[in-house]
Structure 1
Amino acid sequence: MTAETHVFERPPEGAAEDWSIPQQWEDYTAEEHETWDILFERQLKQLPGRASQAFLDGIDVLNLSKPGIPDFEELSERLMNATGWQVIAVPGLVPDDVFFDHLANRRFVAGNFIRERDQLDYLQEPDVFHDVFGHVPMLANPVFGDYMEAYGRGGLRALEYDSLDHLARLYWYTVEFGLIDEPEGLRIYGSGIVSSHGESLFALDDPSPNRIGFDMKRVMQTNYRIDDFQQVYFVIQSFEELLRVTVETDFAPLYAELEDSRDYAPDDVADEDSVITRGTQAYARERAAASPA
């Protein structure tokens, strides 16, 4: 496996035991800073009226409008003052136990590399734009910051129960692809949506996906795909409620219950679901029809 994939089996040369590395901000090229600016400008134009107020507030609190890739030291200072979080650089995807330990200690890991110019619309491995623009503004919200810390602690416990697959679904459908019902209507807060030019439109406007009220067990029963727009989005009522449910849930018996429960496909709608929008699934059918046999 080459270093260019940003996926490693052990800390690469120069990384600490916790996989952290110097960001080396001074080594970014003018083209890399320009790539950030292109991505930032088009998302910032698109997100008002779409992104949650907490996300938009985080952009302001962290002064992310400053041109160029953010310096993690400066960013961490502002974030620490707001909620006690910090951002640390890592070379790419890190092992689960490392990731959870960082979250449990209010450290968010971010890749220090940025996508190539021909990958503006899709990158399978999270880069600095996805990690910083997509995730970090929400960490400036005290309640969501507490949720992320609680998730990290829960992840460390999940290692003991061999239940990471189920817990990963909770992260996927909240932190990465979550929607929230605000007074003005449905809004985006998941990093995978807010950092995606296409999905920040699709998630709210397209008739294809299901939009279902959040339920912890239902979310943890639902499979997902990583290579295309989502077929279902789960909608929370507030970050306070998301945190409360997470903190109050006894996950050990829930994991045991999930072992004997059915899994749902992303396009399934269950009788007990609180359906906000029943999708047509037209997009998924069109994509399937266009795929080679």
Structure 2
Amino acid sequence: MAIAATAKLQEQFDAGLETRADFTIDQPRERYGAVDHAVWDQLYRRQMALLDGRACEAFIEGAQRIGLNVAHVPDFDAVSERLMAATGWRIVAVPGLVPDRIFFEHLANRRFPVTWWMRRPDQLDYLQEPDCFHDLFGHVPLLADPVFADAIHAYGRAALAVEDRALPLLARLYWYTVEFGLMRDADAKPGAAQGVKIYGAGIVSSKGESLYSVESAAPNRLAFDLDRVLRTRYRIDTFQKTYFVIDSFAQLFDALGAGIAARLADPEPLIAVEPHGAGDVLASDTVYTRGTREGWLADGDV
């Protein structure tokens, strides 16, 4: 979900690629060099090994089903063909972050925007904005799961009807679910990886946060509650202080569709109240893990 154009996006606009009104482009496969393909291969192999036992099975299965297990940057058309057969979704190439309303339009029409360019070798562990690996590896595998795919479609449709002043609320929901969500692991052994599995794209595409989110004692892990999430700030510069844990993708579907449509038909009650800090734990929360707060910054919540 985009908020504004960035310097990197402007760089892409200046690169001579034809960008359509909906921000889509044709994937410029001829612009990928040996380094780009090597970075994809390295990141894919590293993350899939790391996510074994940590990510939800739907993600692992989805990545293989749509053909991401190749030693080069995948062909978007080939991925789309497999994805269409699974859930009716396809991916579209974009130069980078796109405006919110255009992003929602794509989701509402079962199209997921994927940034075409790859990060550099010196950016394997951290990149300020989404690149091809984050978008394609992080987000797209779960779109092969019918319930998750329908949840993202419902989010796009509901978001189109929301007033601009409620966009920060939409951003919080997307951040704490699609980007940095965890789900309960019903089969977890006592004490194993905090009893949760990863599904959020910002986690699965990050080596550091893949480990931190499920194994560190520092963050809170709280049961997902829609109103609570809509009123909670988050971090864009560090690992999360709090992760919200869903029970299932069915719960996510309810929240991303009918849930926000009902809550944000009149967003004023949620906008008018002061949001909670990213690390707050409330008396009303269902707490799976109360964080030790080690390494937390005192300010910087957005």
Query: Where on the TM-score scale, by shorter chain, does this alignment land: which range?
Result: over 0.9
1:134-155 CA-to-partner distances (Å, cap 9, x unmatched) read 0000111111111111111122
TM-score (norm 2): 0.90
Question: Which residue matches 1:171?
Answer: 174
Greater displacement, 236-245 / 169-178: 236-245
SS of the residue corresponding to residue 118 of structure 1 reads helix
Matches within 5 A, 1:84-163: 84-158=88-162, 160=163, 162-163=165-166
TM-score (norm 1): 0.92
Taking structure 1 as reference, are residues 215 and 161 closer, same or farther at Cα in structure 2, changes over 3 Å only? same
Shift of 1:2: 10
Is the 2:110–2:153 Cα contact (8 Å) retained in structure 1?
yes
SS in 2 for 1:6: helix
User: Which residue of structure 2 lines up, in the alignment, with residue 204 of structure 1?
Assistant: 214
1:219 lines up with 2:229 in the alignment: yes
> Structure 1 residue 5: deviation in Å?
1.2
- Cα separation, partners in 2 of 1:43 and 1:172, compared to 1, 3 Å: same
Check the 8 A contact 2:166/2:264 in 1, yes or no.
Answer: no
Residue 182 of structure 1 and its aligned partner are, at CA, apart by: 2.2
SS in 2 for 1:132: helix
Q: Which secondary structure does the structure 2 equivalent of 1:227 belong to?
A: coil
Task: Give the superposition deviation at 1:35.
Answer: 0.6
Counting aligned pairs with the same residue, the percent is: 48
**How far 1:74 sits from its partner (Å)?**
0.3
Task: Structure 1 unaligned segments of length 5 or more: list them.
Answer: none
Structure 1 residue aligned with 2:73, among 66, 69, 72?
A: 69
Structure 1 residue 276 displacement after superposition: 0.5
> Bigger CA drift: 125-134 or 256-265?
256-265
Instruction: Give 3-state SS (helix, strand or coil) of 1:130's partner.
Output: helix
Tell me how far 1:231 sits from its aligned partner: 0.3
Partner letter of residue 155 of structure 1?
A: A
8 Å contact from structure 2 (residues 182, 196) kept in 1 = yes
For residues 203-225 of structure 1, the C-alpha deviation after alignment (integer angstroms, 9 at most, x for no partner) is 00000000000000100111011
1:267 to 279, 289, 295: 279
Which residue, out of 198, 205, 208, partners 1:195? 205
SS at match of 2:207: coil
CA contact (8 A) 2:27 2:93 kept: yes
- Give the length in aligned residue pairs: 287
TM-aligned CA deviation for residue 60 of structure 1:
1.9
Deviation at 1:10, TM superposition (A): 8.3
2-structure distance, mates of 1:178, 1:226: 14
| Equivalence map 1:30-49=2 (5 Å) | 30-49=34-53
Provide the alpha-carbon RMSD of the alignment. Answer: 2.3
**Maintained 8 Å contact 1:8/1:92:** no
Aligned to 1:252: 264
Mapped contact 2:220–2:241 kept (Cα < 8 A)? yes
Alpha-carbon separation, structure 2, partners of 1:10 and 1:74 = 25
Q: Mark the CA change 1:89 to 1:217 in structure 2 (over 3 Å): closer, same or farther.
A: same
- C-alpha distance in structure 2 between counterparts of 1:3 and 1:13, whole Å: 17
Q: Secondary structure at the match of 1:211?
A: strand
Q: Which amino acid in structure 1 is aligned with residue 165 of structure 2?
A: D
Unpaired runs of 5+ in structure 2?
188-194
Counterpart of 1:146 in structure 2: which amino acid?
Answer: D
Is contact 1:84-1:106 (8 Å) kept?
Answer: yes
